[in-house]
Chain A
Amino acid sequence: MFICVHLWFQVSFMIRIANGQGFWGDWLEAPVRLVDGGPIDYLTLDYLAEVTMSILQKQRQQDPELGYARDFPPLIGRIAHKLRDRHIKVIANAGGVNPVACARAVLKAAPGLKIAVVLGDDVLPRIDEFLAKGYEMRNIDTGEPISTIREHILSANAYIGAFPLAEALATGADVVISGRCADAALVLAPMIHRFGWGPDDYDKLAAGIVAGHIIECGAQCSGGNCQVDWQNIPDLANIGYPIVEAEPDGSFAVTKHPGTGGRIDAHGVKEQLLYEIGDPRQYMTPDCVADFTTIQLADTGPDRVRGHGVRGGPRPAMLKASISYHAGWKASGTLVYSWPDALAKARVADRITRQRLDQLGLRFDEIHTEYFGVNACHGPAAHPVADPTEVQVRIGVRGRDKRAVDRFTREMIPLVLTGPPGGTGYGEGRPEVRQIVAYWPALIPREEIQTRVEVVA
């Protein structure tokens, strides 16, 4: 009798999954407000952009105790007592290339929490082994084989899916820390864990992925970066980050805490659904292929959108890997010219700069110039501007030769005294030379990746 009741509770409960961070650098207050602003069961946080891993690999090379997102332990320290009191579990890919060190740092900041780490995504030490096995790891976008950039590779990680994260939740951990995983997997994992979904439940897995895609960019589905009547979106300063209320049958609602700013409606959610996707019928993830054309969306109340009807297909045979590599150096500098003849002055400044670089015999892979106030954002699609009151000219260069890029950085400020009249906006000083860390998406056979879960105490 008790077992029946227990099972009924387990499969009948709706669970609330909140996403408190869309990227590393997102609003610091968001996760705290999610914890404080109402009931949630899970708090997910995304720390890994495409090339973040290369920065973290460098950190770990210099210090074996680094290589994870350093903002994460202090955040957990700040909210640990609330997590415990309110029974909230945290799932984050803050582990980077060193999830164990991350877990240890979290324990220092919040002793007494139970942490589970998910390992197995880092394949940097295995690149040569893969090449020897004949895996070409061609760039998914360009088709080039990875051998062309082999000696420049800085990091390599497979995108793991939600099942290893669910396994980590099953240990009873308060905080689950992974390395690279599919962003939406952070949101799908609690659904798998609580509802008992299996690898063949394609439609439900796809629904979880779609729900995850909707909230994985945080407030971008709750009124942020939203074209829908944007001037009347209430209280953006206190925008509410999104919460998915997930049901065992794969349907879900997207909502936010009462009293928060922003707005959730079907039009805004559609904008986020279409964000950064390719063929919508085949949204590939490590756990399933989701068909975004099957979702039915409806406004079901203020700041509440319901989604259902999602269909999906089996997981792909190959896993996507995110590989980063050194691709040269770049720098860009800006100057501002005011009316009259703002654009003409800006164009002359550009011409002089290019001529001086050429006279020095410096060669670059690309020199690119933009005119803000005229057509920098929209290019040929820009509305014509008759007589701008000011124009900012921005010149950027990139190339393999660091010294050439460095020499360029000394060429813009002299224009103030040696070029067109009234140049300003040089106050931030000489531009920085930055390393270009480029992204190489590739495929590897999924059987090459074995994940494992470790509890850190």
Chain B
Amino acid sequence: MKLPLSRIAHTRSGDKGDIANIGVIAWLPQYYPILLREVTPERVKAFFGEMVEGRVDRFELPSLYALNLMLHHGLGGGGTVSLRTDAQGKTLGAALLALEIEVYERELTD
């Protein structure tokens, strides 16, 4: 079934220059394989559309049941150069909570 990412994870976003980084943390260890399957760089890049002009990299932190996403050229120039109100990407982690993912019933049994 289709669910928003918020059902299985929470996020925190920040900036490094013109790169937005989003940490995605599974609520439970058993949700981590769902993150690996569903939160792919391609889907994240498509989700943000023209807000992210560069590539998306994904790093895995299995001992924390978490992913780190780096959205290149994702901040309109970043820092002091960007004209965006959210030049540091504070709200991008929240945005990603709406990412639609496919989850199987059996994966949700706690």
Measured CB to CB, the residues of A under 8 A from B are: 50-51, 141, 225-228, 267, 270-281, 292-297, 327, 330, 332, 366-368, 370, 372, 376-383, 394, 396-398, 436-439, 441
Interchain CB contact (< 8 A) of B94 among A227, A267, A278, A281: A227
Contact A377-B23, Cβ < 8 Å, known A275-B12, A281-B59? no
* B81 close to A438 (CB less than 8 A): yes
* A381 close to B95 (CB less than 8 A): yes
* B16 close to A276 (CB less than 8 A): yes
* A378 close to B49 (CB less than 8 A): no
Interchain CB contact (< 8 A) of A380 among B19, B23, B49, B93: B49
Interchain CB contact (< 8 A) of A50 among B51, B68, B79, B83: B79
**Does B42 sit within 8 A of A, measured CB to CB?**
no
Q: Which residues of B contact A50 (CB under 8 A)?
A: 79
Interchain CB contact (< 8 A) of B12 among A272, A295, A297: A272
* A274 close to B12 (CB less than 8 A): yes
B21, B59, B86 — most chain A CB neighbours (10 Å): B59
Main secondary structure of the interface of B (DSSP, over half): mixed
| CB closest residue in chain B, given A228 | B10
Q: Which residues of B contact A398 (CB under 8 A)?
A: 81, 83
Digitize B40-84: 1 where CB-to-A-CB distance is under 8 Å, 0 elsewhere.
Answer: 000000011111000000011111101010100000110111011
Considering the chains assembled together, what is the distance between the CA atoms of A366 and B87 in angstroms? Answer: 14
Interchain CB contact (< 8 A) of A439 among B17, B27, B85, B98: B17
Considering the chains assembled together, what is the distance between the CA atoms of A382 and B62 in angstroms? Answer: 30
* A377 close to B95 (CB less than 8 A): yes
Given contacts A366-B83, A367-B83, 15 further A-B contacts (CB under 8 A): A141-B18, A227-B97, A267-B25, A270-B64, A274-B23, A277-B68, A278-B21, A293-B63, A372-B85, A376-B85, A377-B86, A377-B95, A380-B50, A396-B83, A398-B83
* B48 close to A379 (CB less than 8 A): yes
Interchain CB contact (< 8 A) of B79 among A51, A272, A281: A51
Q: Which residues of B contact A228 (CB under 8 A)?
A: 10
B15, B85, B94 — most chain A CB neighbours (10 Å): B85
Q: How far is the CB of B73 from chain A (nearest CB, A)?
A: 9
Q: How far is the CB of B51 from chain A (nearest CB, A)?
A: 4
Contact A370-B80, Cβ < 8 Å, known A293-B62, A379-B51, A380-B51? no
Considering the chains assembled together, what is the distance between the CA atoms of A275 and B13 in angstroms? Answer: 6
7 closest cross-chain pairs (CB), A and B: A274-B23, A380-B49, A396-B83, A271-B12, A368-B83, A276-B14, A379-B51
Q: How far is the CB of B85 from chain A (nearest CB, A)?
A: 6
